[in-house]
Amino acid sequence: MITTGIHIPMSTRKHLTSAIACIHRETTNLTVGEIRNLYGDFDMGSLPYLFHVSFGKNGTVQDIESTPCQHGIENVGPDTFKIDVPLFNAAKAIARRKSWVLAHFLMKRELDRRTSMSIREMISFSDAELLSTIDELSPAFAFPYNSTFSCGELSELFKLRMAESELEIRKNESSHSRIKSMDMNEPFLRAAQKALEREKACVLEWIDAKRIRQADLYLPYQLTHRPQEEQFRIAYRNQRGW
């Protein structure tokens, strides 16, 4: 089962890297005692920070700014996430290791956007198909998602969350309401199908190029049982995103 995915360009991680580098500049001359006085706990050489994301009109990340997190993350607004930032490593390396937090924040934001606008990509699937998707994908994401930031794998997690959301909506939905929702979603579903067809052509071209170069195709073992076409698409999305 193929659905549209989550694409995060490399420039997004650069914004996170810049924000972490700014934290390092602000703290580089502080002693451990000063850090404890200013920030409280200093656990394992990391400090908790809130990161506020600014978005452009088309939903792309325009900037990320950090604020010391001294009182938790409650009531800080919808465009904010939290990271414990290590002070003793390169900002680029930290951004890569911690980028899964930003990736999950962006994925949830897109899911919330679709829910608020009643955009339901999986509305045409039967309950049995949705349950099958959940059963298939849940084991792959049963543990903390510390490594789930590549766009192909993140898109599979997004599919899992969409399936769960769709089943939840149906619990209190009448047949009449569902028919209206299917009609309302028809333009989106047509556009999504066209986008998937274009992506499929790009995937096939990419795979042919890899075969010519005899390059390996890497996927986490949790996803290697999937049909070959889906494996190709996941791998393509991984290399296209960050």
For 27-70, write each residue's pLDDT tens digit: 888 887 777 776 666 666 788 899 999 999 888 999 999 998 86
Q: Residues 57-62: contacts with CB within 8 Å, 24+ apart?
A: 60/9, 60/12, 61/11, 61/12, 61/15, 61/106, 62/15
Cα distance between residue 180 and residue 174, in whole Å: 10
Give domain status of residue 2, yes or no.
no
Among the candidates 115, 144, 168, a domain finishes at: 115
**Judgement on whether residues 151 and 232 belong to the same structural domain of the protein:** yes
Q: Which of 87, 93, 69 is nearest to 16 (CA)?
A: 93
Q: Are residues 111 and 127 in the same domain?
A: no
Q: Is residue 184 part of a domain?
A: yes
Q: Both 129 and 171 in a single domain?
A: yes
The SS3 of residue 80 is: strand
Same-domain check for residues 216 and 108: no
Q: Which residues contact 71 (CB under 8 A, 6 or more apart)?
A: none
> Of 81, 115, 149, which residue is a domain's last?
115
- Structure tokens that stand for 157 in this block: 């997690």
Q: Is residue 5 part of a domain?
A: no
Burial class from Cβ neighbours inside 10 Å (0-12, 13-18, 19+) for residue 14 reads middle
**48: left (phi > 0), else alpha (psi -120 to 50), else beta?**
beta
168 shares its domain with 233: yes
The C-alpha atoms of residue 190 and residue 194 are separated, in whole angstroms, by: 6
Q: Look at residue 73 in the predicted model and tell me its pLDDT.
A: 52
- CA–CA separation, 100 vs 145, rounded Å? 7
Would 1 be classed as within a structural domain? no
CB 162 within 8 A of CB 1: no
Chosen domain end from 115, 131, 165: 115
- pLDDT for 43 equals 63
Q: pTM for the full model? A: 0.90
96 lies in the same domain as 126: no
Residues 62 and 132 in one domain: no
For the beta sheet containing 80-86, the strands, ordered from the edge strand earlier in sequence to the opposite edge, are 61-68, 46-55, 80-86
Q: Answer whether 79's CB lies under 8 Å from 51's CB.
A: no
- The per-residue pLDDT for 212 is 73
Q: Tell me the residue range of the domain where 125 lies.
A: 121-240
Residue 129 lies in a domain: yes
Give the whole-angstrom CA distance, residue 47 versus residue 22. 13
* pLDDT at residue 202, as a whole number: 96
- Count of the separate structural domains present in the chain: 2
Residues of the chain with pLDDT under 50: none
> Can you give the pLDDT at residue 203?
95
Amino acid letter, 178:
R
